[in-house]
Structure 1
Amino acid sequence: MLAIDAAAYRSPWRRHHPAAKALLAGGLLGCALVLPPWPGAPVTAAITLAVALGWARVPPRTLLRAARTPLGFALTGSLTFLVTVGPDGLGWADGGVRRAADVVARCTAALLCQLLFAGTTPLADTLPRLTRLGLPVTLVEVAALIYRMLFVVLDTTRRIRDAQAGRLGTRSLRAAWRSLGGLGSAVFIRSFDRARRLEAGLAGRGYTGSLSVAVAEIPLKTRFLATAPLPAALAILTTLTLQSLP
């Protein structure tokens, strides 16, 4: 199990309805996307981080591990704003630093909002309720199967990498590349075989196009639902106040 999933199952917010948590995280996400990047994005990121660490009690290490790879992509992609290609060749872009900072700020704030929801709400609590919003049952079930197969692929990858390391498959760069190729092919074959067996198992159990699962009833109208919009309202008011300052 991924660390972010384990944190979601242990979260003190587990007893709250996913819709209420989606309202809270979605409101903050809207602030990250709509408010001006400066100071809107830093303010939203700071409030989201305070909510995640203080109110939701998401482990800081788990939050950092889940955020580092997406932030790496954002930082790498923002570097393209720093340069421009013209008749004279490659050069520094006018205003590139500001545009890169805007992108990184918005991405950081938006990512923290999504991790707030992911770190407090297991996907198993969310997917069965999506059909009540009008989403096709087939789409929801495909998403659930992909989520389940993700852990199978990760576990298979880990086992194969451990076996390759035990056989000195990474002793040199050439051996590491050869092991990487073998890892990719083995993971593909085993995942395809696991998916085929899963399909055969569903057919043997009389699958008719929908999987019936038990969904725990969680009350929606609670005090938490009433307080969910407050972080987004605080972000909006703080941003407007900072903008009005000389």
Structure 2
Amino acid sequence: MFALDVAAHTGPWRLRHPAEKALLSLGLLACAVALPPWPGAVLSGGAAAALLLGPARVSPAVVLRAARVPLLFVATSAVPLLVTMPAPARLAVDPAGPALAAQTAGRSVAALTCLLLFSATTPLSDVLPRLHRLGIPPAVTEVAALTYRMLFLLVDSVRAVREAQAARLGFRTWRTAYASLAGQAGAVFVRAFSRARRLEEGLALRGYTGSLTVQVEPRRMSPPFVAATVGLLVAIVAATTVAGSRW
């Protein structure tokens, strides 16, 4: 399993209702996107990070490992905001670029932290079965669940093929490494196609009619948690409004 999935299945918020965590995470995300970057996005991202590392007890190493690729994308996307092109084939530093890049990067990092708060505390297996009550078609949730399951199988296949190639000195030189990567892609594709076909045959033999019925564990909403979430969101909006009126 991925580190985020392990954290979601073993964390102290595992037994909380997914709607509670969705209200908290998506509410903070809405504040980070809708409110001004200062101090709205900063407060939203800071609250999400504090909850993620505090009450949710997610390891900082897990958070950094999950956020490193999105953070790299944010950093590379902010660089073009620093320059401008006033004439053809001429680049110049934009005087308003640093402020715009900082605002964009800050809002993006805050939104990413809010999403990590939900994904690191809520297993996907708790979310998908409950989406039917919101009117989501069963076909959509079942395709998402099967794709999620196949993702782990593909990762296992890539790891097994890579270990076999490394045992045969497949990465000894650049030439053998390129050949091994090409063979790895072909082997993983064949394995994925074979597993998908076997999965389709298994569902057909079990009388699949277009819907996979699963048992959903009943869970109750926690009024104190919901009240605290609403209070936190109201406090962030109020603090941002007061700060904006002073500026």
- Shorter-chain TM-score bucket reads over 0.9
Secondary structure at 1:12's aligned position in 2? Answer: coil
| Contact 1:28 1:48 (8 Å CA) reproduced | yes
Given the superposition, is the C-alpha separation of residues 168 and 146 from structure 1 closer, same or farther in structure 2, using an over 3 Å criterion?
A: same
Once superposed, what is the RMSD of the aligned Cα atoms? 1.6
Residues in 2 aligned to 1:79 and 1:187: alpha-carbon distance in whole angstroms: 36
122-131 vs 48-57, which deviates more?
48-57
Match of 1:184 in 2: 185
CA contact (8 A) 1:164 1:179 kept: yes
Q: Give the aligned partner of residue 46 of structure 1.
A: 46
- In structure 2, the residue matched to 1:92 is 92
Consecutive unaligned residues in structure 2, runs of 5 or more? none
CA separation of 1:166 and 1:231: change in aligned 2, threshold 3 A:
farther
Distance between the aligned counterparts of 2:103 and 2:176, measured in 1? 42
Amino acid of the structure 2 residue aligned with 1:44: S
Counterpart in the other structure of 1:68 = 68
Describe the SS at the equivalent of 2:155: helix
Please give the residue correspondences for 1:11-30 in structure 2 after superposition, counting only pairs within 5 Å.
Answer: 11-30=11-30
Which residue number in structure 1 is paired with residue 220 of structure 2? Answer: 219
Letter in 2 for 1:147: Y
* Equivalent residue runs for 1:129-208 within 5 Å: 129-208=130-209
Per-residue deviation, residues 199-218 of structure 1 (Å, max 9, x unmatched):
00000000000001111000
Secondary structure at the aligned position of 1:58 is classed as coil
For these two proteins, the number of residue pairs brought into alignment is 246
Task: Provide the identity percentage.
Answer: 50
Partner amino acid, structure 2, of 1:106: R
Task: Tell me the equivalent position of 1:236.
Answer: 237
Q: Cα 1:51–1:231, aligned 2, differ >3 Å: closer, same or farther?
A: farther
Q: Is the 8 A contact 2:33 2:107 kept in 1?
A: yes
Task: Give the C-alpha shift of residue 97 in structure 1.
Answer: 2.2
Give CA deviations for 1:80-129 in whole Å, capped at 9, x if unaligned. 22233453414135222222222211111011101101111100000000
Moved more, 154-163 or 16-25: 154-163
SS in 2 for 1:14: coil
- 187-196 or 126-135, larger mean C-alpha shift: 187-196
What is the TM-score with the length of structure 2 in the denominator? 0.93
For structure 1, the residue ranges without an aligned partner over 5 or more in a row are none
Provide the rounded CA distance (Å) in 2 between the counterparts of 1:234 and 1:181. Answer: 54
In the alignment, the residues of structure 2 paired with residue 159 and residue 219 of structure 1 have an alpha-carbon distance, to the nearest angstrom, of 42
SS for the counterpart of 2:235 is: helix
**Paired residue type of 2:12:** P
Q: Give the TM-score, by structure 1 length.
A: 0.94
Residue aligning to 1:115? 116
SS in 2 for 1:9: helix
- Residue type at the aligned position of 2:51: V
2: distance between equivalents of 1:222 and 1:176? Answer: 57
CA distance in 2, matches of 1:161, 1:103: 39
Question: Secondary structure, in 3 states, of the residue corresponding to 1:171?
Answer: coil
CA distance in 2, matches of 1:36, 1:241: 12
Is the Cα–Cα contact under 8 Å of residues 83 and 90 in structure 1 kept in the other structure? no
